[in-house]
A and B are shown apart, each in its own frame.
Chain A
C-alpha cells in the first residue's frame, strides 16, 4: 500500500471513529469533525518538525508558511516571530512558544560519544536507552541515548550522572565526519498519534498546540472587527528561561495593555497525578490559568475573561497549575497577564496527551478575545 493510500485509510478510520463517538462528548457546539481534523493537520506538521530551545527556525518556517496573505511577519533579533493586526490602543499581545525541551551537545569525547546538557526541565530517565536524533546543520543524524554503563544494586530509577549519546561511531573524528558538532540540539524522534476518538499523544504539544491554536485564530481573524492593535508573537527559548519573551517584553516603545500567554495548562486529571489542584479534565474545554508558579492574574481580569467566554457559550475551565509562561516578563512592566491554554497530561514527557476538541475551542477563544476584549 502506498504512503498516500495508507494516509487515506488512516484518515478515513479517524473520521469513522470520530463520528461514532461524536454524539457522546462534544465539548461545544462550535466543535465539528472537520475542525478537529484541521487542528490535527496543522498540529501534526508542527509536532513532527523539530525545534529544541535555541533551534526553532524550522518550526517558525512552518508557521510563517501558513500565515494569511494579509500578515506581514517580522522576526526580531532573538528569533521571535511577530504578526500585527489592527491599529490603535489598547494593544493586546498573544504569545505562544515555538520551542520544545531537549538536549544540546556540549562535548564530543575521544570515543565518539557525546556529552549533553538539558534544555528545559524533565525526568531524564525517560530518555535513557531510547532512539535519538541529532539536529545538525546538514539535517538529522540518528543516534541513541545510551543506557547507563552499570546497574547499581539496588537499581535506581535515575541514571547516575546523566547519560551520553552514541551515533554508532568509535572516534571523535568519525562523529564529526557525520556532521555532528558541539552546540547541535538533540531530541528523540517524534510522531503525532491519534488516541481514541478525539485525543492525541506526542512530545511537544507544549507548546505546539498553543502555536497551532494561535495560527488558526490568526487565519480566522476578522480584521474588520478589530478596533485596536493585536500582536501575535511566536517566541523562542521559552523552555530555556523565557528568553524570547524577555526580549519581546523589553522591546522599545512597546507597553501593551494586556498579555495572554497561550500555553499548556498542566492538568492533574490522570490517576498517576495527585489531584489536589490543577484538576482540569480533558475534553471539557480550555483553561484559564488563574495562578501558576510565576503569575497571579488579578481577580477582576480573570472574572472579565470568564464572563466573556460564558457570554459566547464557549466552555472555559479555571484553575491553578505549576510552571511559568511567556507572559511573566511582561509582568515586570506592569502588564496585566491572563494566560490560558488547554489541559494536558504527562507534561514534558515523550507522551504528552491532549484532547483535540479543547484546541478547537481554544482557537475560538483566542479569536474572541482578540476581536472583542
Chain B
C-alpha cells in the first residue's frame, strides 16, 4: 500500500469539524464530559476520518478517465485565476494539497527515485479591463492566442468569474437585421478590443451589484460536448483530457503500489512564465525523471532539476478552437501508461 502523505490533512479536517461543533470537549450545555468519553471521541474521530477517506477515495478512484475529462473540460481556470479549479481538484483528490503557488500536488510513496508527472491547469482567457458607465464591460486578453482565438468570443455567452461565483454575460454582436443595406461586417477577424460584454446591466452600479469587478476573469461559458463514439470537444480539450488522465492515474496509484516517490502536480500559470512548475521543482525536486503531459515548456525553462524529461501530448483535432476535439480512448490509454509508469523503474 502506498504511503499517503496527506492523510493527516483529512484527519485534521475532520477534527476541525469536531472543534467547531463540540466546543472544546464540552457538552452541548457546557458541562465537561468524563475523560472516558473524550478517549472515545478520539477513537471516533480517527474512525470517522478513516471511513471518510475510504469513501472519498473509493468514489474518486471509481471515476473513469472520461468522467474526469467531462468535468475538466467544463471547468474554467484562466491563467493566474486557477484557484477555483484547484479547490475542486483537492476535493476530488483528497490526498493532494494546494501549495503556496496554487498548484495542486500529491506526493505518493517515499524514498527514491523521486519522479514528477505534471499537467497544466490553466487556459488562455480574459479579464475585465474596464466597466463602462452604461454597464457594459471591455476585456484584456490573458495568455495569448492564435489569429482566430478572439473570434470564438463574438456572439457567444461568457462567464465573469467573481468572488461570488460566475456571472453570465454575452459578447455583443451587431444585429443581423440592422446590417442589411448598410456597410457590411468587417472582413478582419474579431479581436479582443472589439469585445463588449453585456451582463444585463444598465449602469456601472448595476454591474457592481452583480459583484463584477475590474480584473475578474472572463471565459467562454463551457460544457462538455461529447459526440461520435468517444470524442470530447471544448476549449483546450486536449490539455484538460491530459489532466483527466493524470487525475485518474493519481486516484488509482494513491491506493496502490508506486516505485519510490511519485509527485503528481497540476500546475498554474503555464501560459505566463511557468512559475507553478518552478515552485514544484523547488519544493519537491530534484527529480530523476519528469513526465510533461500536454505541457509545452521550453528546454531552457527546465534545467537539471527535472531529470530525464518525457513529453506526451494527446492527439487533437481542430486545435486551439472552441471545439478542440480529443478521443477519450487516447486519454484512457495515457492514464493506463501513467499508472504503469508510477510503479516501474524509470
Residues of A within 8 A of B (CB): 20-21, 25, 121-123, 125-126, 129-131, 141-147, 151, 154-158, 166-169, 189, 191, 193-201, 266-268, 270-274, 278, 283, 293, 321-323, 344-351, 353
Contacts and interface: CB of A to CB of B under 8 A. Distances in A.
5 contacts: A169-B228, A193-B168, A268-B178, A346-B173, A346-B174
A195 B170 contact: yes
B22 to A, nearest CB: 27
B185 A157 contact: yes
B111 interface: no
Contacts of B321: 129, 147
A285 B233 CA distance: 40
A337 B244 CA distance: 58
A351 B231 contact: no
Contacts of B155: 123, 126, 346, 349-351
Contact of B318 (A21, A129, A266): A129
Nearest to B172: A272
Contacts of B134: 271
A157 B148 CA distance: 8
B200 interface: yes
Given A156-B187, A196-B210, A266-B177, A129 B322 contact: yes
Given A125-B154, A196-B210, A348-B177, 18 more contacts: A123-B185, A126-B155, A126-B173, A129-B321, A130-B322, A131-B227, A146-B318, A151-B148, A156-B187, A157-B185, A158-B187, A189-B223, A196-B201, A270-B198, A271-B136, A322-B181, A347-B177, A353-B198
B322 A157 contact: no
Interface residues of B, number: 54
B227 A143 contact: yes
B177 A323 contact: yes
Given A146-B318, A151-B147, A195-B199, A278 B178 contact: yes
A274 B178 contact: yes
Contacts of A350: 155-157
B323 interface: yes
Nearest to A148: B148
A129 B190 contact: no
B157 A201 contact: yes
Contact of B200 (A20, A131, A197, A278): A197
Given A126-B155, A129-B152, A274-B178, A351 B170 contact: yes
A201 B168 contact: yes
A69 to B, nearest CB: 36
Contact of B228 (A168, A199, A349): A168
A155 B148 CA distance: 8
A195 B169 contact: yes
Nearest to B183: A274
A144 B156 contact: no
Given A197-B200, A271-B196, A157 B171 contact: no
A351 B180 contact: no
B226 interface: yes
Contacts of A129: 152, 318, 321-323
B35 interface: no
Main secondary structure of the interface of A (DSSP, over half): loop
A144 B173 contact: no
Interface string B232-246: 010000000000000
Contacts of A199: 200
B227 A123 contact: no
Contacts of A168: 227-229, 231, 325
Contact of B175 (A21, A25, A271, A345): A345
A353 B135 CA distance: 15
B1 interface: no
A166 B323 CA distance: 11
A87 to B, nearest CB: 38
B288 to A, nearest CB: 40
Contact of B176 (A121, A158, A196): A121
A200 B157 CA distance: 11
A349 B226 CA distance: 23
B188 interface: yes
B173 A195 contact: no
A323 B180 CA distance: 9
A351 B190 CA distance: 16
B71 to A, nearest CB: 15
B209 interface: yes
B104 to A, nearest CB: 23
Interface string B151-173: 11011110000000000111111
Contacts of B199: 195-196
A195 B152 CA distance: 21
A235 B274 CA distance: 57
B206 interface: yes
B186 interface: yes
Interface string B100-136: 0000000000000000000000000000000010101
Q: Top 5 A-B pairs ranked by shortest CB distance?
A: A168-B228, A196-B200, A195-B200, A199-B200, A351-B170
Given A143-B227, A144-B233, A196-B210, A348 B176 contact: yes
B343 to A, nearest CB: 34
